[in-house]
Structures are given as structure tokens and as C-alpha cells.
Amino acid sequence: MKKFSILALTVLAALSFALVGCKKQSKSNTQKIIEEAQTMTLEQLARKAIEESKGKKFYGVGNSSRGKSALPLFIDYLKTLDSSYTLEFEWQQPKNNKIFDQLKADSLKDVGTFAMTLIQDGNQIETKMVQTGVLDTFIPKDWAEANKIDVKKYNGYLALQTLNKVFMYNCVDTTVAFNNCWDFVAEGKHGQFMGIDSEVVGKNFLYMLTAPKYAKNLKDAFDALPAASKTALQAEIDGLAQQAKDLGLDENGKYALAWIKRWVGSYTAVSDDGPICSNLVKSDSQGQFGLLVYSKLRSVEETATTSKSNVKIAAYQDGYQGMGGYGYCHYLFVTDNSPLPWTACAFIAYMTCTVDGFSAWGKDMGGYSSNPVVATGTETKYQHLTKEGDKGYDWWVNQGKLVLEDPAYCASVAFTVGAWIETLDKAA
């Protein structure tokens, strides 16, 4: 599982996109509260939350449904400080990338409905949410201390966790194997994947493949292919050399473009990772594969026809070459017009600074806390994850060659590589 040192990498992922946008000249009431809240411990924040929200209703919105599971635990924690504390809550999870529109519309009110959000896609967060003043970053004191960060100098996002989407395939037919990431874009192969317009982190994954590090990984994986496979791909790859140059990519960019072109032209779009997982674990889904959130395996019900044993994680197989999947962060923000800013800050601190607060995600494979103290505690508390096969964040980043989202890089190529991908998507 995770090592303490590897959490620095998660933090770097969260730090990678500086918040340098044009925000309001004067501080909002929420920003003033955040400034004070960042000097306070979790218990101090909790007492402020009790005072502010006792007997009220809390609305949250997020890309992860597990906020709904974390809120009751947070309320139970507040009850340890005040046994009479009550709080109703509602957690919404918009589909098809509607969360940005929902937050923007709510921001037009003097006092919003949503107190906070758990959101993904750093590219859109910066341009649509942070620069426009819709969302404010709160960095808990305990989280900053655990990561040895000076809050006054820190200007990045607060990551709750890194998630990984991994290549997995149905293994009932033992003659079918995927030994190289290029096998997923071989002729006649059709992986299952959330459409890049319904979940934009999928588009960020494709953007990241063109970054020098990951383009080099694709080139190395190509070099490891059998001679016949390389011959079948070489002309197509070389034919994209000028396109790569025009897009400002390095010498290995043509390998990234070739993989992207084949993937976009072949994958089967599915509305959510859940149905992909449900399909892959069936005994009659022989030879099928997908790129999906690793944690979806948690919900597989073992029956005569469905089982986790019917799938294999590609990167875990001996001799596998190339990227094993894609890693991206869930970020936490307080809405600038939050109706309950103290409670939002306390809830955010609870999720990022305690093992129980992170348990909604940490109890299953594929979710890695950005807080080294919480990560270590989670590893100790949920030792079953090792038994279930999760090799942890450190393994995925290094041996598994996980492609990590860098919001700054994604933003830098959104109007170049992004425009090129749009032409592929329309042609597919």
C-alpha cells in the first residue's frame, strides 16, 4: 500500500496549478471567514460550525456521490462536542459535467444554496470557477502542517484525494490478454470509456498523453511491441509527425497522437463507470475491456454470473508494458456566497484531516488521501485493501506508470491539442 513519502506527489499534483486568476478586488465575507478559519484547528472549526448551523440544512454538490456518506460521519463528530446538535443535509451529484453550470447559476444569488463543493477537472475549475470568483480555496491548518506547507504562501487547490482510472479486462477467456497499452487500440478493439464530453477529465487524460513524459512512455511501450505490431502502426505514427510539430509537441508527440486517434476512433462511450464495471465482471463478457475508476470494483456483488475474479487489472500482470491508467484529483472548495461558510470549512477539514472523515473514500481501493497523516492512518485501518490487491499510490505512479493530471498543462494545450481531438471526436 501507500508509503508516507509518496503523498508528496499527490500534494504536488494539487499544487501544480497556481491560482493566479482575476478575482474580486475586495474580500468577500466568505473569504474573510476562510482567512480566519485557516488559523484554527479542526475542533475550533467544529465549534464554529455548531454555532452557525445547528438545526439548519446543509447543501453540498460534488462529482463524487460519497459526500453523502461523509456528511453523517461529520454530524456524528459534531455531536461529540454538542450532543444536541442536529443538521439536515442534501448532497447532489450532477451528471454530464453540469456541475459547473449549477455552481455558476447558484453564484448569481446574494446567498447561495450550496455551502461547498467537491469537484474535479482542474482546467475548468481554474477558468470557470476560481478566476470568476465562484469558488474559494480553504486550506485547513492541520492539513497544511501535515504537508509542511505555509498557508500564507500556498496558492494552489486543496485536494481531497487522487483517484485512478485503470485499464481492466474480462479474463474468463484465458486466451485473451492485454500485455501492452497499445493493445487497447489495436485493430478491432473497442474499449468502454465514459465519453469525453460527458466527463471532461477523460479529455484531460488525452491531453496529458502529449506531455513529454507520457509521450515518451508511449514510445517506450511501442518499442516493446512485437515486430509485426510495430510494423502495422509505424506508418500511421510517422504520418502524424508533422501534426505533432504543428501542435508544438516534442519528438515523441507523434506516438501520443497516434494512440489518442485510435482510442477516440474506437472506444464505446458509456454514460458512467458503474455500468462499465457491471458489464466487465460478467462471465459472458469475454474479451471486453475498459478504462474506469478502480474503486468501482467495491460494489460488485458476487453471484454465479458476476465476480471480481472475472476481471484483471492490466498493469498488475507480469510483463505488462506502458501506462496502467490515469490519475486525477478531487478538489474541495467553499462557495464564495456560501450560506454556511464555517460549517463548510469544518466539513472540509474533517474530510482532509481525519481517517474517519476520509473513510467514505479510503475504505475502498483507488482513492489516496492528499494528507500523509490520514494516508498512513487509512492504510493501517483498512488493511483489507492490500488483500484485495490495491498496490497503492506509490506503486501506481511508478511501476503502474499512472498518467497524472496536471491542470496547468491541460490548460496550455486545450486550444491546440484540444481542437485537434474535437475533430477526431466528430469524425468518430
**Strand segments (E) across 250-357:** 268-270, 289-293, 311-313, 325-335
Give the residue among 223, 203, 207, 221 at the shortest CA–CA distance from 257.
207
Confidence class for position 411, pLDDT limits 50, 70, 90? confident
**Strand segments (E) across 174-272:** 192-194, 268-270
Q: Where in the chain is the domain with CATH 3.40.190.10?
A: 4-161+327-403
Fold classification of 164-326+410-427 (topology level): D-Maltodextrin-Binding Protein; domain 2 (3.40.190)
Which cell goes with 155? 496558492
Q: What is the pLDDT of residues 116-160, one digit of tens each?
A: 999 998 888 888 898 899 999 999 999 999 999 999 888 889 999
Which cell goes with 354? 481525519
**Strand segments (E) across 192-259:** 192-194
Dihedral angle over CA of 34, 362, 97, 189, nearest 10: 150
pTM of the model: 0.84
> Does the structure show a pLDDT above 80 at 24?
no
Confidence class for position 427, pLDDT limits 50, 70, 90? low
Tell the CATH superfamily of the 4-161+327-403 domain: Periplasmic binding protein-like II (3.40.190.10)
Dihedral angle over CA of 82, 84, 88, 93, nearest 10: 30
Question: Is the model more confident about 284 or about 383?
Answer: 284
Report the pLDDT value the prediction gives residue 408, as an integer from 0 to 100.
83
- Angle among Cα 402, 127, 29 to the nearest 5 degrees reads 115
Q: What is the pLDDT of residues 212-244, one digit of tens each?
A: 999 999 999 999 999 999 999 999 999 999 999
Answer for the pair 38, 145: CB distance below 8 angstroms, yes or no. no
Q: Kindly state the average pLDDT of the residues 200-221.
A: 95
Question: Is the model more confident about 108 or about 22?
Answer: 108
Answer for the pair 170, 285: CB distance below 8 angstroms, yes or no. yes
Q: Report the 10 Å Cβ neighbour count for 426.
A: 8
Give the residue among 375, 329, 311, 321 at the shortest CA–CA distance from 169.
311
Q: What average pLDDT does the structure give for the chain? A: 90
Give the residue among 389, 353, 345, 392 at the shortest CA–CA distance from 370.
353
How many angstroms separate the Cα of 261 from the Cα of each of 102, 323, 425? 32, 17, 9
Q: Kindly state the average pLDDT of the residues 181-198.
A: 92
Question: Is the model more confident about 25 or about 190?
Answer: 190
Q: What is the pLDDT of residues 146-155, one digit of tens each?
A: 999 999 888 8
> What contacts 246, CB < 8 A, 6 or more positions away?
none
Q: Report the 10 Å Cβ neighbour count for 352.
A: 25
Amino acid at 352: T
**Strand segments (E) across 68-122:** 88-92, 116-119
Q: Report the 10 Å Cβ neighbour count for 391.
A: 18
Question: Is the model more confident about 330 or about 123?
Answer: 330
> Does the structure show a pLDDT above 80 at 85?
yes
> What contacts 14, CB < 8 A, 6 or more positions away?
156, 157, 158, 159, 329, 331, 370
> What contacts 398, CB < 8 A, 6 or more positions away?
none
Q: What is the pLDDT of residues 7-22, one digit of tens each?
A: 444 444 444 444 444 4
Place of cell 501506481: 396
Report the pLDDT value the prediction gives residue 379, as an integer from 0 to 100.
85
